[in-house]
Amino acid sequence: MKHLITIVGPTAIGKTALSIQLANHFNCEIVSCDSRQFFKEMTIGTAVPNADELAAATHHFIQSKSIFENYTVGDYEKEAISKIDSLFQYNDYVILVGGSGLYVNAVLKGFDDFPDIDSAIREEVTANYENLGLNYLQEQLQKLDPDYFEKITNENPQTLLNPQRMMRFVEVCLGTGKPYSSFLNQKKNERNFTPILIGLEADREMMYNRINLRVDIMMNEGLPKEAENLYPHKALNALQTVGYRELFAYFDKEFTLEFAIEEIKKNTRRFAKRQLTWFKRDENTKWFDFQTPINKIIDYIDSQTKS
């Protein structure tokens, strides 16, 4: 039987270090599931594994794409499953690691199959959003798919403030003449592996201290310069990311540098809370304190492969 050891948890909790230890123990390779570490132009701000970490175990989907590519979660699902299937041809284990819940779900459960949308409709929705703002998108979704609008409002209201997601919902409704929700959960996606889900966590104070320290390290390693190089492309979807957005505001003279740094820390802490909320919904995840000895985690994995 093939097992996909899946490591999840909030940012800065130690997922990379654990994945390398497990990859070495099980003599297997690592598939990254961090939607920002895919991009080769974003290094410091996404905390990609360093050269020593990359040398310690074989990684896939680290800085393999460009911010200028239109790379979707559906694209990732297809490529990741293909890679995982190929790795399973010569090993019973593969490590999946990352903090992007939507992308983890795409690998474990499959991503819903949506039809292609006419580019003219996509451009029209984008233009209307740029002219009329988020209210336009919210009103359109409420009219075109009231059930899904109500579901989002009740379960994940932050989505209503995400223009990329909202534009996608609206363009699917307009392009197909059907509610966006009608395309969800259409079919069961078959997987040729059994997932073993490992979650890493820490008490809130420790988690926040680790986040604050990581931001300080990023600043010292040159994050402002990296963000400055990317500033001309700040409208790209890949750059709507904590750590870059705040520095772009500094370059626009909206923030002082000191305030931008504090905003990065605050927004990263908020992001970590959202990650935990997402991952805690899956009752199949076994949670460990980030300082748990590696042998205890290996013992748990071994117990799952024998059950």
Structure tokens at 293: 């000895």
Q: How is 71-125 classified by DSSP, letter by letter? A: --HHHHHHHHHHHHHHHTTS-SEEEEE-S-HHHHHHHHH---------HHHHHHH
Query: How many angstroms separate the CA atoms of 294 and 23, rounded?
Result: 12
What pLDDT, on a 0 to 100 scale, did the predictor assign at position 96?
Answer: 98
Residue 189 has pLDDT above 90, yes or no: no
- The per-residue pLDDT for range 69-126, each reduced to its tens digit, is 888 888 899 999 999 999 999 999 999 999 888 889 889 988 767 777 888 888 899 9
Residue 222 has pLDDT above 90, yes or no: yes
Q: Binding site: which residues?
A: 9-16
Residue 207 has pLDDT above 90, yes or no: yes
- The per-residue pLDDT for range 255-289, each reduced to its tens digit, is 999 999 999 999 999 999 989 988 998 999 999 99
Average pLDDT over residues 294-302: 97
Which residue shows structure tokens 């795409």? 106
Q: Name the average pLDDT for the chain.
A: 93
Q: Binding site for ATP: which residues?
A: 9-16
Q: Binding site for substrate: which residues?
A: 11-16
What pLDDT, on a 0 to 100 scale, did the predictor assign at position 240?
Answer: 86
Residue 188 has pLDDT above 90, yes or no: no
Q: Are 28 and 196 in contact (CB under 8 A)?
A: no
Nearest to 31 by CA among 44, 18, 39, 19: 19
Per CATH, the number for 119-183 is 1.10.20
pLDDT band at 307 (very low <50, low <70, confident <90, very high): low
Structure tokens at 242: 């904590």
**Fold of the domain spanning 3-111+189-306:** Rossmann fold (3.40.50)
Query: How many angstroms separate the CA atoms of 290 and 198, rounded?
Result: 11
What pLDDT, on a 0 to 100 scale, did the predictor assign at position 186?
Answer: 66
R_g of the chain computed on alpha carbons: 20
What pLDDT, on a 0 to 100 scale, did the predictor assign at position 262?
Answer: 98
Query: How many angstroms separate the CA atoms of 133 and 125, rounded?
Result: 11
Q: Provide the whole-model pTM.
A: 0.80
Q: Are 167 and 125 in contact (CB under 8 A)?
A: yes
More confident residue, 205 or 106: 205
pLDDT band at 24 (very low <50, low <70, confident <90, very high): very high
Whole-angstrom CA distances from 37 to 47, 133, 148, 166 are 8, 29, 30, 24
Q: Are 186 and 114 in contact (CB under 8 A)?
A: no
- The per-residue pLDDT for range 36-80, each reduced to its tens digit, is 999 999 999 999 999 999 999 999 999 999 999 888 888 899 999
Instruction: Kindly list the domain boundaries of the chain, sorted by start residue.
Output: 3-111+189-306, 119-183
Q: Hey, do 3-111+189-306 and 119-183 end up sharing a CATH topology, with the first three levels equal? A: no
